[in-house]
Amino acid sequence: MSISAEPAEGVGIADRAHVELSTQRVIPLRHPGRWIATIAVLVLAAQFVHGLATNPFYQWGRFGYWFARPVILRGLWVTLEVTALSAVLGLIGGVVLALARLSRNPVLRTISWVYIWLFRSVPLIVVLLILFNFSALYKTLSLGVPFGPSFFRFDENKLATELVVATIGLSLNEAAYAAEVVRGGILSVGRGQREAAAALGLPRWYQFRRIVLPQALRAIVPAYVNQLIGLIKGTSLVFYVSLLDLFGQVQTMSSTYPGDVVPLLLVATAWYVILTSLVSVAQYWIERRLRAGER
């Protein structure tokens, strides 16, 4: 008996094909257009940075002088104060309006819809100017029985300071947009989640707090952070109601020092970029925590 050492015909062909493929070099697909676009963008970016650094028109020395001046920091503090108050009050109002729009009560749904429609239609500067001149319409405010006697009267001129007018105007405007953000986040949660919770006999408030809200936040946070960034930049309009925020102080100093208009505007730009960047960083960590909870 003799045993052949030759491999089977099919196995030999497969082995030879494998050796041939392993010896071939894979040539990657070339993208010349991508490289051209990259080089063009880098060249434009380098030219822009070079212009910023070498153009004497920007007056970077004066920029450094004004950046942390007490007058600028006072305006920055006013901006932070107005933003914080308006963000909190606007979010609370937005949650109330969103729940009213989702309510089964037709009166609440109608009132909420009209409010959102009205404040999304009227420019913010118009709202601020109307509130600033509110004393021309109502000299005093009273608290008492509707269509009856009043128990307390308030002088509107003493109550409506510039800070109060700015905060109320921004909060009213913010609540209309926050309501749609919150409502969209709630509607993004599948109906089956609420039905399953109801089948388990969980109370409605518990369903909303422990099941609906944690899932809705993943859709609410990115959209509301956009609103918050818009609110930070929108505070620049309070200058028109005589409140000297960051932009108001820059405008005032520009009138006093007309030669420093450009560096002062760059100072305002830098501070707004810093504030919005901090909000973006906070958004990143909040979203990361929400994703960790989902996993």
Interval 146-156 mean pLDDT: 63
- Answer yes or no: is pLDDT of 140 > 80: no
Contact 243, 166 (CB under 8 A): yes
**Model confidence over 153-189: pLDDT tens digits?**
666 666 778 888 899 999 999 999 999 999 988 888 7
Contact 251, 136 (CB under 8 A): no
Query: Which parts of 237-288 are beta strand (E)?
Result: none
Helix (H) or strand (E) holding 150: strand 150-155
**Tokens 């309070």 map to which residue?**
238
- Answer yes or no: is pLDDT of 20 > 80: no
Beta-bridged to residue 142, according to DSSP, are: 153
Residue 176 CA to residue 93 CA, distance in Å, equals 8
What pLDDT score does 174 carry? 94
- Answer yes or no: is pLDDT of 278 > 60: yes
- The average confidence (pLDDT) of the chain is 82
Task: Name all contacts of 274-279 with Cβ < 8 Å and 24+ positions apart.
Answer: 275/79, 275/80, 275/83, 275/232, 276/229, 276/232, 276/233, 279/225, 279/228, 279/229, 279/232
Nearest CA-CA partner of 227 in 120, 99, 154, 68? 120
What pLDDT score does 149 carry? 66
Neighbour-count burial for 175-204, b at 16+ CB within 10 Å, e otherwise? bbbbbbbbbebbeebeeeebeebeeeeeee
Tokens standing for 4?
């052949």
Residue 137 CA to residue 151 CA, distance in Å, equals 21
| Whole-number percent of the chain with pLDDT over 70 | 82
CA 180 to chain centre: 14
What pLDDT score does 203 carry? 75
The CA-CA-CA angle for residues 33, 34, 37, to 5°, reads 85
- Answer yes or no: is pLDDT of 3 > 50: no
What pLDDT score does 260 carry? 86
Helix (H) or strand (E) holding 268: helix 261-294
> Does the pTM of the predicted model rise above 0.85?
no
By the 10 Å C-beta count (0-12 exposed, 13-18 middle, 19+ buried), 102 is classed as: middle
Question: Could you tell me the CA-to-CA distances from 227 to 119, 173, 223, 242, 288 in Å, in that order?
Answer: 14, 11, 7, 24, 19
- Answer yes or no: is pLDDT of 214 > 80: no
